[in-house]
Amino acid sequence: MSQLSTQSDLVAPFLEIKNAQIIYDNAIEAVRDVSLSVAEGTVVALLGSNGAGKSTLLKAVTGTLHLEDGDLEKGSIHFAGRDLARSKTDAIVRDGLVLVPEGRKLFANMTVEENLTMGAHLKSASELRRLKQTVFELFPKLKERRSQTAGYLSGGEQQMVAVGRALMAEPRLLVLDEPSLGLAPLIIDAIYETIALMRRELNMTVFLVEQNATQAMNLADYVYIMENGRIVLDGPAEKMRTNLDVQEYYLGFSSGGEERKSFRDIKHYKRRKRWLS
């Protein structure tokens, strides 16, 4: 029995990717035979270095692959029963899957409050007030900065606005793409504390795509590691944190004072190739 089915058996999958193969320009294979699932009410982390295929997978999930001549050649992607391969981005968002993109991508010339409002453009006036109040409770600093232009905020504050804007759409599944990228350690800690709070207070389901393995593993219930377009390792976060290979390559721990190795140089690393199982 695969790790995927083990996780899926615990709670029914909310987001489910099965044997996905993604091709660019009818020639370049970016993702090969990837399967993963996110159960409702859980936090699932997808880890991997630049070029691993994480961003391509997110484009497939959010309905934006076609913008870069990408195509889901094989496999399937479903969210809450909807076939995402045949869905447009606006329909995906209405169904409750909302992305906080890498690099924040705020409306830099708008105020904090205007950015939040843009995230709730389909909501009524009363819903808008309620949702803003929720965001301001999660991010008190944004309430203080509500009239300031978003482009002049610090990187951490901009990330708060990006997450707050996504929350204004009342997501059933919040997808976070590299939320710690370019931020100072103390700011990263604050962002992750807020993600944990959202999970507790809002019962939020989170799909977290990260290079910051330490923070992600401390928050997640289940972890997938992606390399060269494939899932090479997965398991419960607690188990992954104690895996010697994961510790050495992703968490920076090394036995005997040796220099940190490349993942391909770790001889005892067990590549559990799904495409052969």
Q: Tell me, what's the pLDDT at 251?
A: 72
Q: Which two tokens stand for residue 98?
A: 């909302």
Average pLDDT over residues 249-275: 50
Q: Write out pLDDT tens, residues 145-165.
A: 999 999 999 999 999 999 999
Counting the structural domains of the chain, the total is: 1
Which structural domain, as residue segments, surrounds residue 91?
Answer: 3-96+171-276
| Residue 123 domain flag | no
The mean pLDDT of the chain is 86
Q: Which two tokens stand for residue 23?
A: 């091709």
| Residue 114 domain flag | no
User: 201 falls in which pLDDT band (50, 70, 90)?
Assistant: confident
Asked if the model's pLDDT at residue 212 lies above 50, the reply is yes
Q: Which of 50, 45, 32, 43 is nearest to 203 (CA)?
A: 43
Q: If DSSP codes are grouped into helix, strand and coil, which group holds residue 175?
A: strand
Asked if the model's pLDDT at residue 257 lies above 50, the reply is no
The enclosing domain of 248 has a CATH number of: 3.40.50.300
| Residue 215 domain flag | yes
Q: Which of 196, 263, 264 is nearest to 45 (CA)?
A: 196
Phi and psi at residue 19, in whole multiples of 5°?
50, 45
| Residue 21 domain flag | yes
CA distances 127 to 95, 98, 121, 170, 172, Å, are 17, 18, 10, 10, 16
Return left, alpha or beta for 126; rule: phi > 0 is left, psi -120 to 50 is alpha, else beta: alpha
| Residue 195 domain flag | yes
CA distances 92 to 11, 77, 114, 165, 181, Å, are 22, 12, 23, 16, 25
Does residue 192 contact residue 178 with C-beta atoms inside 8 Å? Answer: no
Average pLDDT over residues 54-69: 94
Asked if the model's pLDDT at residue 177 lies above 50, the reply is yes
Q: d(Cα 114, Cα 112) in Å, to the nearest integer?
A: 5
pTM for this prediction: 0.84
Lowest mean pLDDT among 12-16, 87-91, 127-131, 268-272: 268-272
Asked if the model's pLDDT at residue 62 lies above 50, the reply is yes
The CA radius of gyration of the chain, in Å to the nearest whole number, is: 19
Residues across the chain: 277
| Residue 161 domain flag | no
Q: Which two tokens stand for residue 104?
A: 């924040």
Alpha-helical runs (H) found in 139-229: 140-144, 155-167, 185-202, 213-219
Average pLDDT over residues 203-226: 93
Beta-carbon contacts of residue 37 (< 8 Å; ≥ 6 apart): 4, 7, 8, 13, 14, 15, 16, 17, 44
Q: What percent of the chain has pLDDT over 70?
A: 86
| Residue 113 domain flag | no
User: 252 falls in which pLDDT band (50, 70, 90)?
Assistant: low
Q: Which of 1, 19, 51, 6 is nearest to 221 (CA)?
A: 6
Q: Tell me, what's the pLDDT at 104?
A: 81
Alpha-carbon torsion 90, 173, 194, 128, what sign? Answer: positive
Q: What percent of the chain has pLDDT over 90?
A: 69
| Residue 192 domain flag | yes
Average pLDDT over residues 205-230: 94
